[in-house]
Amino acid sequence: MNEPQTGDALPSKEHHEGGFRPMPELIAAHEAAKDDISRGGPHYGQFIEQVRGLMDRVRLASPSDDLAVEAIGLLKQLNDKLDDALVDEWSTPNWTRFDLPARGNITLPPFVIDHVGERGVDARVTFRTYHLGGNTAAHGGQIAIAFDDLLGMAAAVHAGAVTRTASLTVDYRSITPLNTELKVRTWAERQEGRKVYVRATLHDGERLCAEANGLFIVLKPGQP
């Protein structure tokens, strides 16, 4: 495997807060990146969509022996090719690609941000076939992942600083459907020193699917 490329990482590994990019620079980069699709190139979004499509299909696939062997060979060839494109975490496209669902991060259920501000974060999320838990419902763990990312965004915006999850509690109120655009709202209730208390809801139309509350901690400079 090739050594990861440093690329045009901002900031460098020597300049960060607890493994995260400093919030002022993140906000500035966000503004600068709104119309910038250079990192990852113009085809990065379709690349991510094809990966998500593969994940959806693998989730329900029951291949024959011949198909499994053929797929293994193709995937190995693809993985070998992608080794040449690996970069470190500071240089990946998926922290600046705000033009793509979930910033192009395949570890997150795809969501689109409608509003970010002092009153919180409003977003639309779609749990795909890959996120299946059972009986056509989204897996509870995937719901928690979506909450965690969007709650972290609300906490960071409220505090104006980098935060890390200290605790997250999710209450599941009804079935969360797959392949349906759902509304997520996250907001900070209050801040006590470095502690930011946050809440969130997930709705399918008027129906409440799940809600969450969490505690995020503002990191000190250099704190992991």
pLDDT tens profile 126-140: 999 999 999 999 999
Q: Is the pLDDT of residue 33 over 70?
A: no
The reported pLDDT for the residue numbered 161 is 87
**pLDDT band of 94, cuts 50, 70, 90:** confident
| Residue 96 confidence class, pLDDT cut points 50, 70, 90 | confident
pTM: 0.85
CA 22 – CA 36 distance, rounded (Å): 20
CB-based contacts of 140, cutoff 8 Å, min separation 6: 133, 170, 172
Share of the chain above pLDDT 90, in %: 72
User: What mean pLDDT do residues 110-125 have?
Assistant: 95
pLDDT digits (tens, 9 = 90+) for 140-180: 999 999 999 999 999 999 999 889 999 999 999 999 999 99
Angular region, 53: left φ>0, alpha ψ -120 to 50, beta rest: alpha
Range 193-202 average pLDDT = 98
Q: What is the pLDDT of residue 220?
A: 82
**Amino acid 78: pLDDT:** 98
- Tell me the DSSP string of 39-93: TT-TTHHHHHHHHHHHHHHHHH----HHHHHHHHHHHHHHHHHHHTT-B-TTT-G
- H or E segment to which residue 26 belongs: helix 23-33
